[in-house]
A and B are shown apart, each in its own frame.
Chain A
């Protein structure tokens, strides 16, 4: 089955700096890669996603890159703000099989003012 590894498990940055979270996956059948942000006591919220036919996607301060050959994808947050502090999860799945979503173990991001 699919195996998703996420690094680092914790990340602390100063406000205004950039943050990068990396994930690797094992199943070449995976073609959908979402990222979720989870604030304390809440459910995960989809913040950006990328499909395997695209190498990079950007949405304001958030970007995701995908390297299919190396089987890794990354989340980049620029100009970090204290409200970006949360747990971030990556996931990988084949878009034609709803039952095969595999999540990383999460990264706790702390943005210090």
Chain B
């Protein structure tokens, strides 16, 4: 398995609170991605990074921000969580511009 870890693996939070999810890789891959997975919607790209401090929006970026200060870490922040952000969040990495390896996921419940 590719060296990708996500933390936390599960989180329950309340509406309006900030939440940060962390993705850590040991593969030294340039590209990192955040996806969300919801029933009936498959996987949708939130944000991605193509290098340290280089990020861009995906299909469903509203309400989310990201940061990448080191090659190995990619953070996803929900500034003020809403119930519509209840989902399973997956981090992924790729050596090139193609999503190759996914992390184990973080289950987030916003009450």
Residues of B within 8 A of A106 (CB): 42
Cα(A98)–Cα(B94), bound, Å: 9
Contact between chains at A101 and B40 (CB < 8 Å):
no
Q: Is A69 an interface residue (CB 8 A)?
A: no
Contact between chains at B58 and A99 (CB < 8 Å):
yes
Chain B residues within 8 Å of chain A by Cβ, number? 28
Residues of B within 8 A of A95 (CB): 96-98
How many residue pairs bridge A and B at CB < 8 Å? 62
Residues of B within 8 A of A103 (CB): 42-44
Cα(A101)–Cα(B98), bound, Å: 8
A84 CB to nearest chain B CB (Å): 19
Please report which residues of chain B, range 14-62, place their CB below 8 angstroms from some CB of chain A when the two chains form the complex: 31, 33, 40-45, 48, 50, 56-59
Contact between chains at A101 and B90 (CB < 8 Å):
no
Q: Which of A43, A91, A105 has the most chain B CB atoms closer than 10 A to its own CB? A: A43
Q: Chain A, 25-45, contact with B by CB distance < 8 Å: what is the 0/1 string?
A: 000000010101000001111
Which residues of B line the A interface, CB within 8 A? 4, 31, 33, 40-45, 48, 50, 56-59, 90, 92, 94, 96-105
Which residues of A line the B interface, CB within 8 A? 1, 32, 34, 36, 42-46, 49, 89, 91, 93, 95-99, 101-106
Can you report 9 residue pairs joining A to B where beta carbons are below 8 Å apart?
A43-B90, A45-B102, A46-B99, A89-B42, A91-B43, A95-B96, A98-B94, A101-B45, A101-B98
